[in-house]
């Protein structure tokens, strides 16, 4: 990408003008705060500055039900000694607040036994050029944003007379961050993020069902053109109409086919979290100690890639100043990697993978996923579905729960079908998939040729922190999975 707003220099200049200059701060002040921490024995220390603007609009029954706008800014100061972390933050950015926070966090050194981190000459990290730096909030004026929501509502109602209620939302965020580390490393990023959501309720013969859709990514609001609106409307309305015809799902042990794209949320939850470095360092993951071992069927390759341009889960640099990368976690069924932040990477004797993420300046970083997905196989997707003698074909998922230690999961299918002799018979409602993540990986018998990422709607929660993520997979067949139903 060649746009000037992608240049590292422009991001650095914008970060300095937004996060340092208004408060009279210079690089010398930052180094002074870090030197205050380094006066005691610590293994690592950093400053994380953040400025964010966010806006949201919601429309229901043709009326704007709510509008919101917020600005937040602050700095988080962290010191690490061994496995222990001391953290302080302030929503006031000033030299005094930096020094106060630095003096607070360096007290952790009393329990530290490692040598002091040494300051080197300042080195600016060269981030990836994955998205524009422009503020998406100003890409459309308020009247145009409302008109966009009104347009998608009219389109949804026009698609089918059974649509009785429509709810639409539009969210935008502009975030500027700067990471300054005790070893002299500095990094800056300017992150756009937008999302459109659509929920419809359809009614027939007194029965009501819900369908939803939407998408987004790291671009501006002009991306939501007519073709995107048509896609969201078709997906949401058709989902609600399919559910109107759904019968109670059968219960038992069946082969299950998962559709491409968003059903990868099961992969994210049941497998992805278990591959994060903190759980494996502590031995609490079902994948702990299994590096180099077969953990999945042949042909299964799982990646976490934070470098995909404009994707919701992508970052030019992570929240510790490490450039994101394409991490192969499972290759042809063999466990090859974990997701690492700096702390866990140091303690495990490996390199960080660009997966240190935090919700905001008021939170500590931890290893988190970015865009996690499975690569395509060789089997045409239609043949994967046709291979089912009796089973469930699930194309969309709602909520789910996972136990990281055991790997056990329970997921609810929001759209699914009963299949017999390779033919889709009818939609089913109330199907839940029950299993064990590592075990489910070994039950994959067919991998489709249609791997896809979700439309850009994922939010991942961990230890009270939420971050945007992407998920994806091809059409997959898993054998012998337990299905809980209502029939």
Average pLDDT value for residue range 299-305: 98
- The yes-or-no verdict on residue 399 having pLDDT over 50 is yes
**pLDDT > 70: what percent of the chain?**
95
Reference 396, options 235, 188, 163; nearest CA is 235
Of residues 241 and 122, the one with the higher pLDDT is 241
pLDDT tens digits along 319-342: 999 999 999 999 999 999 999 999
State yes or no: pLDDT of 2 exceeds 50.
no
Share of the chain above pLDDT 90, in %: 86
Positive or negative, the Cα torsion across 95, 101, 105, 110?
A: positive
Residue 4 pLDDT class (50, 70, 90 cuts):
very low
Confidence (pLDDT) at 112: 47
Which of 112-121, 142-151, 324-333 shows the lowest mean pLDDT across its residues?
112-121
Q: What is the pLDDT of residues 197-249, one digit of tens each?
A: 999 999 999 999 999 999 999 999 999 999 999 999 999 999 999 999 999 99
Please give the pLDDT value at position 1. 33
* pLDDT of res. 11: 85
pLDDT top residue among 50 and 3:
50
Task: Output the average pLDDT for the chain.
Answer: 93
CA distance 469 to 314: 8
Does residue 66 register a pLDDT over 50? yes
Check residue 101 and give its pLDDT.
96
d(CA 432, CA 446): 21
* 117 confidence band (pLDDT: 50, 70, 90): low
Provide mean pLDDT across the span 420-437. Answer: 95
Average pLDDT over residues 384-405: 91
pLDDT range class, residue 9, cuts 50, 70, 90: low
Mean predicted confidence (pLDDT) in 119-132: 82
- Residue 62: pLDDT band by 50, 70, 90 thresholds? confident
Segment 52-65 shows an average pLDDT of 94
What is the predicted pLDDT for the residue at 6?
A: 54
Mean pLDDT of 10-24: 93
Tokens of 222: 């002009």
Output the pLDDT for position 10: 81
The pLDDT confidence band at residue 114, using thresholds 50, 70 and 90, is very low
Mean local confidence (pLDDT), 106-126? 68
**Average pLDDT estimate for 261-274:** 92
């Amino acid at each position: 990408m060649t746009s000037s707003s992608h240049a590292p220099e422009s991001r650095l200049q914008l970060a300095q003008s937004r996060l340092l200059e208004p408060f009279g701060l210079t690089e010398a002040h930052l180094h002074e705060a870090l030197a205050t921490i380094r006066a005691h024995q610590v293994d690592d220390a950093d400053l994380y500055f953040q400025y964010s603007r966010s806006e949201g609009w919601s429309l229901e029954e043709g009326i704007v039900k709510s509008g919101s706008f917020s600005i937040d800014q602050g700095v988080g100061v962290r010191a690490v000694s061994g496995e222990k972390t001391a953290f302080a933050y302030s929503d006031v950015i000033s030299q005094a607040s930096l020094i106060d926070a630095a003096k607070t966090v360096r007290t952790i050194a009393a329990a530290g036994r490692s040598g002091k981190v040494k300051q080197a000459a300042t080195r600016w990290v060269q981030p990836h050029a994955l998205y524009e730096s422009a503020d998406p909030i100003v890409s459309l004026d308020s009247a145009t944003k409302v008109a966009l929501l009104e347009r998608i509502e009219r389109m949804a109602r026009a698609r089918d007379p059974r649509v009785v209620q429509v709810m639409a939302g539009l969210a935008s965020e502009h975030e500027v961050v700067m990471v300054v580390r005790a070893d002299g490393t500095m990094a800056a990023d300017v992150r756009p993020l937008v999302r459109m959501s659509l929920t419809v309720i359809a009614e027939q013969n007194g029965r009501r069902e819900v369908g939803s859709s939407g998408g987004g990514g790291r671009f501006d609001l002009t991306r939501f053109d007519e073709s995107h609106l048509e896609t969201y409307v078709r997906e949401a309305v058709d989902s609600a109409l399919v559910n109107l015809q759904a019968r109670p799902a059968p219960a038992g042990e069946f082969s299950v086919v998962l559709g491409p794209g968003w059903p990868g949320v099961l992969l994210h939850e049941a497998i992805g979290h278990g591959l994060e470095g903190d759980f494996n360092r502590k031995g609490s993951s079902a994948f702990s100690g299994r590096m180099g071992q077969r953990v999945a069927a042949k042909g299964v390759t799982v990646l976490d890639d934070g470098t995909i341009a404009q994707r919701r889960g992508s970052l030019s640099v992570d929240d510790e100043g490490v450039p994101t990368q394409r991490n192969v976690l499972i290759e042809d069924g063999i466990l090859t990697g974990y997701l690492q932040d700096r702390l866990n990477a140091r303690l495990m004797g490996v390199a960080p993978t660009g997966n240190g993420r935090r919700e905001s300046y008021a939170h500590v970083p931890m290893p988190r996923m970015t865009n996690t997905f499975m690569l395509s196989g060789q089997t045409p997707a239609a043949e994967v579905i046709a291979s089912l003698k009796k089973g469930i074909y699930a194309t969309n998922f709602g909520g789910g729960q996972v136990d990281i230690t055991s790997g056990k999961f329970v997921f609810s299918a929001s759209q699914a079908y009963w299949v017999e002799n390779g033919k889709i018979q009818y939609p089913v409602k109330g199907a839940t998939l029950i299993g064990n993540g590592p075990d489910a990986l070994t039950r994959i018998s067919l991998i489709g040729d249609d791997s896809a990422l979700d439309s850009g709607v994922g939010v991942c929660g961990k230890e009270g922190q939420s971050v945007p993520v992407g998920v994806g997979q091809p059409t997959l067949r898993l054998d012998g999975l337990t299905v809980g139903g209502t029939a």
